[in-house]
Structure 1
């Protein structure tokens, strides 16, 4: 009985050490390779903010390989990407209330599904899966749209999220490797 008690206490101590020491150390190490980035925009008084981590291509095939087609991707590295808006907006023609959301995508060759979810999980992928399974809770999805993905003329080394204007239309632009997907944002 004493041995079992000591074993349980030892496992508990190891778990606490991993959570309080191991996880912060792991986050610090991964951010050296995928630094944190921010994109901001003011849309007629609505403040838009995206926080994400930007991994590099490093000669790898990204879409269809590192990021598989038709599977949910946490859309960046490290913690999930967050999208914050201070006032209600529309994504294409669907309403998105003011708030902070985790941003997920399902990339495919010709189109991407873009998902705004009201939960922001701690890491975004399960460590036990080696990072291949996301921790997104689909029942908390607030909005999902599909946008075309087009090929770029030159490879893009670092995953980039930005706000771009084309004509009078504002887009949330997601680009990496040889793909770009633009999500229309409206007031």
Structure 2
């Protein structure tokens, strides 16, 4: 009996010792955060490797729902409402699944994120968005399953899915313009110099009404007076130039150049000199 008890204790101690050994996960967990315009996007997923295997059409069958990675649900969250494939998704967290095909995939954003792998009981009422995405063949193999944020703009991002020689992209549209426009409208009820400046620069960057941008930037600089910083004068020169007012652009660039030289900012000195040369003022 003593020998049996001793043997049991030995096995227990041995197993306990082995359970404390730390080894790398076969499919490492990844968390990626990306700012898109004014929307915070967070992606959480696990990343398996090819390890010499054929992936699509074999390890990951065609025309069958896939967890889009490994282990628990691949999850994506948005801090604002977004639009995917014409469907509006409320701010919140979603599981992402895919049904791969040879020429296109169906990608699904699902309200329930509590599953390990795909749901045992699929519920169509929990589908927040479903979109078709074309398959693009890449010239090289991607060993590790990757989801990326591609083609980033203020108003959209492409969720890129890469593995083996396959690339699939799903466009996600953000409500940045409507948020900014509403913010501008609110601020214009009692705007300060910085409000006018921010609104003008946004209009310049987004290719909106340049004459409106010119009106706002001029108000901003006028309100700041002699305290207008060189980086704001730089934006004034660019807006005037785009509006076709070369004389105003040159005047603003010269003021910006003087301020940048006084501050010892070589970058702005170069940018202003380059612009003045382009506009024939140097």
TM-score after normalising by structure 1: 0.75
Q: Distance in 2 between matches of 1:135 and 1:52?
A: 19
Compare the two structures and name the one with the higher helix fraction: 2
Aligned match of 2:120: 135
Find the residue that maps to 2:150 and give its secondary structure.
Answer: strand
Q: Give CA deviations for 1:57-95 in whole Å, capped at 9, x if unaligned.
A: 001000000000000000000101001011001114321
Aligned match of 2:62: 69
Find the residue that maps to 2:25 and give its secondary structure.
Answer: helix
**Structure 2 stretches of 5 or more lacking a match?**
1-18, 175-282
How far off is 1:138 after superposition? Answer: 3.1
How far off is 1:166 after superposition? Answer: 6.5
Q: Give CA deviations for 1:114-156 in whole Å, capped at 9, x if unaligned.
A: 101111134125xxxxxxxx53623211110011011111000
Aligned length: 152
Q: Distance in 1 between matches of 2:81 and 2:61?
A: 32
Aligned match of 1:164: 150
Find the residue that maps to 2:61 and give its secondary structure.
Answer: coil
After TM superposition, the runs of 4+ consecutive aligned structure 1 residues lying more than 4 A away are 166-169
Compare the two structures and name the one with the higher strand fraction: 1
What's the C-alpha RMSD, in Å, of the aligned pairs?
2.1
TM-score after normalising by structure 2: 0.51
Does residue 1:182 correspond to 2:175, yes or no? no
Does residue 1:58 correspond to 2:51, yes or no? yes
Between structure 1 and structure 2, the one with the greater Rg is 2
Evaluate the alpha carbon distance shift between residue 92 and residue 141 of structure 1 in structure 2; reply closer, same or farther with a 3 A threshold.
closer
Aligned match of 2:135: 149
- Relative contact order (alpha carbons < 8 A, sep ≥ 6): 1 or 2 greater? 1
Contact between 1:39 and 1:163, CA under 8 Å: does it hold in 2? no
Q: Distance in 1 between matches of 2:69 and 2:136?
A: 19
Does residue 1:173 correspond to 2:166, yes or no? no
How far off is 1:51 after superposition? Answer: 0.2
Evaluate the alpha carbon distance shift between residue 166 and residue 78 of structure 1 in structure 2; reply closer, same or farther with a 3 A threshold.
same
Q: Distance in 1 between matches of 2:160 and 2:121?
A: 22
Q: Distance in 1 between matches of 2:81 and 2:34?
A: 14
- 1:102-113 matches, cutoff 5 A: 102-113=95-106
Evaluate the alpha carbon distance shift between residue 32 and residue 98 of structure 1 in structure 2; reply closer, same or farther with a 3 A threshold.
same
Contact between 2:98 and 2:106, CA under 8 Å: does it hold in 1? yes
**Structure 1 stretches of 5 or more lacking a match?**
1-24, 126-133
Q: Distance in 1 between matches of 2:158 and 2:58?
A: 26
Contact between 2:85 and 2:129, CA under 8 Å: does it hold in 1? no
How far off is 1:167 after superposition? Answer: 7.6
